[in-house]
């Protein structure tokens, strides 16, 4: 598969999770929601986790494809410091002696890119440009995966920063489905999805 396939798979995944989210808000003929708050929360939180997995999968796939000399969507190649003989071999080299690569941690991805790609690009430049948003998404991901006093404080702090007002005991669904103050035509989720889409497109195109 090509880098174009990697990008298309990511985008199809985002479309799929947005379809699931729309299902959470389906109404009957009288305008009543078919699902109560608990079920809506479950659907939206699950969809968000799936979105994060699609992003991790894209980064892993794009990185390993560049390592084996695949062309970008614009037909360019990336200069690498190792020459694995297959994509599977490339993934093994990235994992090294660890059990896995934490593709959710953009700092780890950044360090790997600096080791194996010339100047770390196109991974480093594009990750750096959205590093604060990736950190925000990881905060939401952690709260979606396991709520504790620590993750609750972190997601409340993030919600407070985004909204510009004090937020206490928010949930993943309430945060991501609220309108984003920087663009009230989009929810917080859509705002982040747009940023991820631009980042993915630039990585796939080998834009620095």
Whether cis (ω within 30° of 0) applies to the bond prior to 125 is no
In the chain, domain spans: 3-61+100-106+131-204
Phi, psi at 71, each rounded to 5° = -75, 150
**Distances from the Cα of 187 to the Cαs of 23, 34, 176, 205, in angstroms?**
16, 21, 6, 27
Q: State residue 162's pLDDT score.
A: 96
pTM of the model: 0.93
Return per-residue pLDDT of the chain as tens, 208 residues. Answer: 899 999 999 999 999 999 999 999 999 999 999 999 999 999 999 999 999 999 999 999 999 999 999 999 999 999 999 889 999 999 988 988 788 888 989 999 999 999 999 999 999 999 999 999 999 999 999 999 887 888 999 999 999 999 999 999 999 999 999 999 989 999 999 999 999 999 999 999 999 8
For the chain, the residue count is 208
Q: State residue 148's pLDDT score.
A: 86
Closest CA to 137 of 202, 192, 82: 192
Closest CA to 61 of 207, 202, 208, 200: 200
Which residues, at least 6 apart from 50, have a Cβ–Cβ distance to it below 8 Å? 13, 16, 17, 20
Closest CA to 59 of 94, 89, 18, 86: 94
- Report d(CA 7, CA 3) in Å as an integer: 6
Are 167 and 152 contacting, i.e. CB atoms less than 8 angstroms apart?
no
Q: State residue 100's pLDDT score.
A: 86
Closest CA to 117 of 40, 198, 63: 63
């Amino acid at each position: 598969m090509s880098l174009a396939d990697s990008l298309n798979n990511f985008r199809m995944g985002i479309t799929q999770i947005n379809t699931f989210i729309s299902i959470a808000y389906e109404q009957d003929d009288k305008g009543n929601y078919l699902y109560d708050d608990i079920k809506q929360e479950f659907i939206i939180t699950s969809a968000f986790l799936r979105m994060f997995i699609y992003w991790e999968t894209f980064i892993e796939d794009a990185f390993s494809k560049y390592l084996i000399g695949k062309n970008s969507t614009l037909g360019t190649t990336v200069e690498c410091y190792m020459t694995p003989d297959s994509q599977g071999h490339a993934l093994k080299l990235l994992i090294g002696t660890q059990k896995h690569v934490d593709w959710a941690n953009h700092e780890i991805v950044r360090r790997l890119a600096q080791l194996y790609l010339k100047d770390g690009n196109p991974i480093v430049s594009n990750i750096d440009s959205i590093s604060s948003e990736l950190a925000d998404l990881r905060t939401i991901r952690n709260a979606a995966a396991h709520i504790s006093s620590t993750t609750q404080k972190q997601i409340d702090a993030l919600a407070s920063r985004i909204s510009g007002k004090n937020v206490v005991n928010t949930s993943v669904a309430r945060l991501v489905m609220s309108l984003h103050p920087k663009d009230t035509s989009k929810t917080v989720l859509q705002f982040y999805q747009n940023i991820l889409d631009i980042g993915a497109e630039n990585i796939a195109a080998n834009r620095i």
